[in-house]
Chains A and B, each alone.
Chain A
Amino acid sequence: NAGVTQTPKFRVLKTGQSMTLLCAQDMNHEYMYWYRQDPGMGLRLIHYSVGEGTTAKGEVPDGYNVSRLKKQNFLLGLESAAPSQTSVYFCASSRPIGQVNQPQHFGDGTRLSIL
């Protein structure tokens, strides 16, 4: 019952460093998402993917890149980390929206601090 797994769980970076957050799901879901959660602001969509090899921008995509080379994995990259990217990052997956109700399943989050 792994569901959605995010690695790492915690990370501290220096400004300008790069890193990749990994999200893996074992539910054969088509859709995958990356959100960031900041205090008092709920979850904001960074990027999402509706299938292997496809990605699209969400609400706050600047400073991030993503890749979906395999259906089960969705990677979020920070090329040059900035303090404003200090946040908790959540990955989610779902079956295609609109067929029947298909809620999003969330990982436990990655806590990222940029110094």
Chain B
Amino acid sequence: GEDVEQSLFLSVREGDSSVINCTYTDSSSTYLYWYKQEPGAGLQLLTYIFSNMDMKQDQRLTVLLNKKDKHLSLRIADTQTGDSAIYFCAEIGDTGRRALTFGSGTRLQVQP
């Protein structure tokens, strides 16, 4: 079945850039998403990228997609303490499955 993997933890200093990485196995992935989860809250959609794109930028967020290597990354510029959260990578393909496959999440800790 489809699989999505992420590193578990990332620590950065406030003002630095953060890069969260994700790999996936589904070669038919059409959309890839990044969600943010703050403590005690649900998942908030941050951004997404369609599989025919290499890069998408949205304010402080940059998503890079390497479809050949099935590698997705999320770069947060000028990371703030408010960015501390768990970040989930998710994908959906065109195999007829109707729901997202999530990674296990990367906990981002931003130190002042």
Contact = CB atoms under 8 A, between A and B. Distances in A.
Interface of A: 4, 31, 33, 35, 40-45, 48, 50, 56, 58, 90, 92, 97-98, 101, 103-109
Contacts, number: 53
Contacts of A108: 40-42
Interface in B66-112: 88, 92, 94, 98-100, 102-105
Interface of B: 4, 8, 30-31, 33, 35, 40-45, 48, 50, 88, 92, 94, 98-100, 102-105
B100 A104 contact: yes
A26 to B, nearest CB: 15
5 contacts: A4-B42, A42-B4, A42-B105, A43-B100, A56-B98
B42 A58 contact: no
Contacts of B104: 40-42
Contacts of A50: 98
A98 B94 contact: yes
A71 to B, nearest CB: 16
Contact of A48 (B41, B99, B105): B99
Contacts of A92: 43
Contact of B31 (A40, A42, A48, A101): A101
B33 to A, nearest CB: 6
Contacts of A105: 45
A106 B31 contact: no
